[in-house]
Amino acid sequence: MNDTPLEMEQRYRAMLLQRSGAERLKMGCSMFATARALAVASVLETEPSASPARVRERLFLRFYGADFDADARARILARLANPAGGGR
């Protein structure tokens, strides 16, 4: 859904492009950090005693789970559950 008038979209884009590449990168990193913090808080709200590995698993599924088939997802989740165990 997009209910933003085209003129406002163009104005906003022009304002963003006036910033340096470094400023835009910093903004994007800040937005990702905020989204991650909110997702972590959501995981911990539903599973207060979740281990760090469990939080990583849930974050992976939330952000990237739909990007992989079931086999790849299972391999990634196994690695997230035991990051130091074997492999590269």
The pLDDT assigned to 73 comes to 97
Each residue of 10-65: pLDDT tens digit? Answer: 999 999 999 999 999 999 999 999 999 999 999 999 999 999 999 999 999 999 99
Torsion of CA 33, 38, 41, 42, to 10 degrees: -140
Model confidence at 2, pLDDT cuts 50, 70, 90, reads: confident
**pTM for the whole structure:** 0.75
Which position has the token pair 């950090």?
A: 33
Domain ranges of the chain: 6-81
